Structure 1
Amino acid sequence: MKRDTIFALSSGQGKCGVAVIRTSGPASCSALLCLTGAKEPPPPRVAVLRRIRDPGTAETLDRGLVMWFPGPSSFTGEDSAEFHVHGGPAVVSGVLHALGCLPQVRLAEPGEFTKRAFQNGKLDLTAAEGLGDLIHAETEGQRRQALRQMDGELGQLYQRWSNNLTKALAHVEAYIDFSEDDNIEEGVLSQVEDSVAVLEKELREHLRDGRRGERLRDGVHIVIAGPTNAGKSSLLNHLCQKPVAIVSPIAGTTRDVVEAALNIGGFPVVLSDTAGLRDTSDVVEIEGVSRARQRVQGADLVLAVLDATEVVLQPSRLPLALLDILPPHETDGNHPCLLVLNKSDLLGEQAQADLLSSCASPGLAPACLLSCKTGRGIPAFLSVLQEQLAHMCGDPLTGSPSPTQARHRLSLTKCLEALGRFSQYRTVDLALAAEELRQGRQQLGRLTGQVGSDEILALIFKDFCIGK
Structure 2
Amino acid sequence: MDDTIYALSSGAPPAGIGVIRISGIDAGRALETLAGSLPPARSPRLRTLHDADGDVLDVALVLWFPGPATATGEDLAEIHCHGGRAVVAAILASLACIDGLREAEPGEFTRRAFTNGRIDLAEAEGLADLLAAETELQRRGALLAAGGDVSRRIEDWRDSILGLAASVEAVIDFADEDDVASLPASFDEQLRALVAEIRKVAERPAAERLRDGVRVVLAGPPNAGKSSLFNALLADDAAIVTAEAGTTRDVLERPVSIAGVPFVLVDTAGVRDQGAGAIEEIGIERARREIAAGQIVLWLGDVRDAPKGALLVQSKSDLSDKTDSSVINVSAVTGAGLEALLERLVELGRATLPPVDRVAFNRRQKALALAAAQHLEAVDIAGDLLVAAENLRSARQSLDALVGRDSTEEMLDALFGRFCIGK
Match of 1:459 among 386, 403, 414: 414
The residue number in structure 1 matching 2:53 is 57
Match of 1:369 among 311, 320, 329: 329
Is the contact made by 2:171 and 2:182 (CA closer than 8 Å) also made in structure 1?
no
- 1:349-386 Cα deviation digits (max 9, x unpaired): xx32xx11xx1xxxxxxx31111122111112111111
The residue number in structure 1 matching 2:293 is 298
Q: 1:165 to 1:11 in 2, by over 3 A?
A: same
- 1:107-153 Cα deviation digits (max 9, x unpaired): 11111111111222222211111111111110011111111221111
Q: CA deviation at 1:394?
A: 5.4
Match of 1:243 among 226, 237, 245: 237
* C-alpha separation in 2, matches of 1:339 and 1:379: 15
* C-alpha separation in 2, matches of 1:419 and 1:447: 16
* C-alpha separation in 2, matches of 1:5 and 1:372: 57
Alignment of 1:257-336 (within 5 A): 257-280=251-274, 281-306=276-301, 318=303, 320-322=304-306, 326=307, 331=308, 333=309
The residue type equivalent to 1:224 in the other structure is L
Is the contact made by 2:255 and 2:263 (CA closer than 8 Å) also made in structure 1?
yes
Is the contact made by 1:445 and 1:452 (CA closer than 8 Å) also made in structure 2?
no
RMSD: 1.7
Q: CA deviation at 1:453?
A: 2.3
Is the contact made by 2:205 and 2:354 (CA closer than 8 Å) also made in structure 1?
no
The residue number in structure 1 matching 2:71 is 75
User: Does 2:377 align with 1:420?
Assistant: yes
The residue number in structure 2 matching 1:29 is 28
Gaps in structure 1 of 5+ consecutive residues: 312-317, 360-366
Is the contact made by 1:159 and 1:448 (CA closer than 8 Å) also made in structure 2?
no
Is the contact made by 1:172 and 1:192 (CA closer than 8 Å) also made in structure 2?
no
Q: CA deviation at 1:257?
A: 0.4
The residue number in structure 2 matching 1:430 is 385
Gaps in structure 2 of 5+ consecutive residues: none
The residue number in structure 2 matching 1:126 is 122
Alignment of 1:180-219 (within 5 A): 180-184=176-180, 186-188=182-184, 190-211=185-206, 213-219=207-213
Match of 2:364 among 388, 401, 407: 407
Identity of aligned residues (%): 42
- 1:391-426 Cα deviation digits (max 9, x unpaired): 2225513xx3111x2101111121122122224xx4
TM-score, length-normalised on structure 2? 0.95
The residue number in structure 2 matching 1:364 is none
* C-alpha separation in 2, matches of 1:428 and 1:288: 57
The residue type equivalent to 1:199 in the other structure is L
Is the contact made by 2:106 and 2:422 (CA closer than 8 Å) also made in structure 1?
yes
* C-alpha separation in 1, matches of 2:85 and 2:28: 25
TM-score, length-normalised on structure 1? 0.86
* C-alpha separation in 1, matches of 2:320 and 2:152: 57
* C-alpha separation in 2, matches of 1:283 and 1:429: 63
The residue number in structure 2 matching 1:154 is 150
Q: Secondary structure at the match of 2:262?
A: strand
* C-alpha separation in 2, matches of 1:182 and 1:460: 51
Q: CA deviation at 1:77?
A: 1.9
Q: CA deviation at 1:187?
A: 3.4
Q: 1:133 to 1:419 in 2, by over 3 A?
A: same
The residue number in structure 2 matching 1:440 is 395
Q: How many residues align?
A: 422
- 1:160-208 Cα deviation digits (max 9, x unpaired): 11111122122212222221343515333x5332222111101221123
Is the contact made by 1:7 and 1:108 (CA closer than 8 Å) also made in structure 2?
yes
* C-alpha separation in 2, matches of 1:450 and 1:260: 38
Q: Secondary structure at the match of 1:26?
A: coil
* C-alpha separation in 2, matches of 1:450 and 1:193: 28
Q: Secondary structure at the match of 1:197?
A: helix
- 1:253-312 Cα deviation digits (max 9, x unpaired): 111100101111111111111111101341111111111111111111111122xxxx5x
* C-alpha separation in 2, matches of 1:452 and 1:194: 32
Q: Secondary structure at the match of 2:127?
A: helix
The residue number in structure 2 matching 1:384 is 344
Is the contact made by 1:224 and 1:303 (CA closer than 8 Å) also made in structure 2?
yes
Match of 2:99 among 97, 103, 107: 103
User: Does 2:218 align with 1:224?
Assistant: yes
User: Does 2:174 align with 1:178?
Assistant: yes
The residue number in structure 1 matching 2:315 is 342
